[in-house]
Amino acid sequence: MLKEDIKEPSKETKKLSYKDASGEIQYTLRSDIVFHYTMQKSDKALLGLVCALRGIKPTDVKSILVENPIDLNNIGKESVMDLKLTLNSGVIMNIELQMYTDKFWIPRSILYMCRAFDCIKEGDDYSKLKKTVHYCITDQDLFNAEPEFYAKYALLNKRTYEQYSDMIGINVLQLQYLELATQEDVDNDLVYWAKLFKANTWEEIQTLVQEREDLAEVADMILELNTDNQAKEILEGQRRYREQMASQYAAGCIDTEEKYRVKLEEKDKVIEEKDKRLEAKDEVIEEQGKELDAANQTIADLRKQLEELKKK
């Protein structure tokens, strides 16, 4: 496995240990910078997550190359932190954290997968294309369908369900449905990783690391990023940026709702007036119907009287 150089947090933070930390974790593994940095720096963590997502054994892994290493000195608050990997020189893995609502996530995830799949240069033959899977780790309800802990999507025939190709796919790990995990998910360590992502306190991290002591360095790196001033400034800037974008989105929704609320109220008034006119027409029609019934009854009575006169 190859690991790119990245400027590390100050050496002073290395003296700290996750074992001595307590309480809430401000920036958890669900933060894309924390996630990207940790996976980039820890061979053990990267190997464990890749094997869990792929459902393979560590012995099946010959190499993992981080295609988009980050540098904490050059990260912008608006940076996209998807982790792009090449596994065994033949499989592209694009791992994304989706921890906020995005109604365009589905088309965006397809776009990311297609961009990652398009890895050949002009003039290359198609045999150089690599199998590409986009992995989304989320705690949001991205679908309206039946919930699932680990969902796998492929290109299939809609009638026979025959797979068109296994060259592309999208897998979604939904942390909020941990209780729906299968035994296969447990065996592949996906449940463990889901718990690690969901951990919000140092006590939870300490308990989880007791199960996998080889991942103690992950806990220490999370602590580094939560205590190093430079890293905290970057994380806080990104958090505020995301909050600002979310607030602008919410404000836009509110403005749009207000705009259309007025129009809907106007339409409701028009409809109400039309309903009143229809009710008035219905009343007129009802009265005319009663008058017609009375007239018919009168005609029937007159005919009856006429028949009696004819008989006499």
- Can you tell me which residue has the tokens 């608006």? 78
3-state secondary structure of 169: strand
CA torsion 273-278-279-281 (nearest 10°) is 130
Per-residue pLDDT, 249 = 53
Backbone angles phi, psi at 6, to 5 degrees: -150, 140
Answer yes or no: is pLDDT of 310 > 70.
yes
pLDDT of residue 4: 44
Which pTM value belongs to this model? Answer: 0.72
CB 45 within 8 A of CB 53: no
Q: Do residues 97 and 36 lie in contact, with contact meaning Cβ atoms separated by under 8 Å?
A: no
Task: Give the pLDDT confidence of 99-132 residue by residue, as tens digits.
Answer: 887 888 899 999 999 999 998 988 899 999 999 9
Angle at the Cα of 71 (from 66 to 72), degrees rounded to 5? 130
pLDDT digits (tens, 9 = 90+) for 222-256: 999 898 877 767 767 666 655 555 555 555 656 66
Pairing state between β 83-87 and 91-98: antiparallel
152 within 8 A of 129, measured Cβ to Cβ: no
The angle subtended at Cα 111 by Cα 108 and Cα 112, nearest 5°, is 90
Spatial distance between the Cα atoms of 177 and 257, rounded to a whole number of angstroms: 32
- What tens digit of pLDDT does each residue of 178-216 get? 999 999 999 999 999 999 999 999 999 999 999 988 899
Q: Is the pLDDT of residue 217 over 70?
A: yes
In the predicted structure, residue 79 carries a pLDDT above the cut 90: no
CA distance readout (Å), 152 to 30, 51, 138, 174, 274: 21, 15, 14, 11, 52
Higher pLDDT, 218 or 81: 218
